[in-house]
Amino acid sequence: MTTHWLDGKAVLVTGGTGSFGRRFVETVLRDYNVARLVVFSRDEAKQEEMRTKYNLNDPRIRYFIGDVRDRDRLYRALSGIDAIVHAAALKQVPALEYNPIEAVKTNIDGSENLINAAIDRGVKRVIAISTDKAVNPINLYGATKLVAEKLFTQGNIYADPQTGTKLACTRYGNVIGSRGSVIPLFLQQREKGVITVTDERMTRFWLTLDQGVKFVLHCLENMAGGEVFVPKLPSMSLKDVANVIAPDCRIENIGIRAGEKLHEVLISRNESPYAYELDDMYVIEPVIFFRKPADWPWSRYKKMESGTKYASDTNTQWMSREELLAMATSL
């Protein structure tokens, strides 16, 4: 097993029965010597599916039914917990536009509940999973995730700087194989000979579930508190993705949907003055840093060039046909 800060610790994952949560649980049980792993989610049927279909019935697992909207339930679930990975969120853009208050209750109020409960319970580290849609948001989902990011990065001011809770975020793009992602849709559509693409010019960042989980675990181990971690990822246009997945199919353009961007941005021009560049990722510090540690670990790295952005269309790293095929065949 890999040596990690989590060894011997009790860890909880919210949204633990989702695509990310299940792969996170599988990875942690296989690769890390955790003392206890709590799966926190509101769907008892999916918890039972994890136990049976995916055989995730390790004696270290505890299945907790609960909702991040319920602060009292979080207080109970966080008893003795050392680390939290916060993956619970409402994510479907059209549904959240139609149900905006529900989006706020889960993505914003739920995040506040988790932060307060974690601080009061003395949880050492909390890392939340965000999205490219939080950057210059044009839909409600992105706006709620932007607020959630601010809650987590600035939540550190409420905890003891020496011994208290540390909070941070990860932010990344499209996860290949997750629910709602386009590649499983293309694989399904190619049987009919027609692939539907919203706009052939569209570009996206891509990573696998395994890459997402490993990135979160890496950030959890190295976080100082207050950061937004952004991995360096390859880009590919939607047209090229369709041609690789279904080369003999006809591509039908159906038009860009409301709340959808032509290109993804993971770091905006306004954020670049606060971003440090490492070999494999960027680390964004808070725009207003109320309590910057004297030993802030990222200060030794070079800053991202001010006024630039990290976007899928101007990315210097592009995914090859072979790399995409390898990712797609692993689904």
Catalytic residue among 9, 46, 91, 133: 133
* Measured distance CA(105)–CA(33) in Å, rounded: 35
Residue 150 among the catalytic residues:
no
**How many CB atoms sit inside 10 A of residue 212's CB?**
23
* Measured distance CA(229)–CA(214) in Å, rounded: 13
DSSP assignment of 132-188: GGGSS--SHHHHHHHHHHHHHHHGGGGS-TTTS-EEEEEEE-EEETSTT-HHHHHHH
Q: Is 130 helix (H, G, I), strand (E, B) or coil?
A: strand
* Measured distance CA(310)–CA(62) in Å, rounded: 39
* Measured distance CA(85)–CA(168) in Å, rounded: 10
* Measured distance CA(136)–CA(269) in Å, rounded: 10
Annotated catalytic sites, by residue?
133
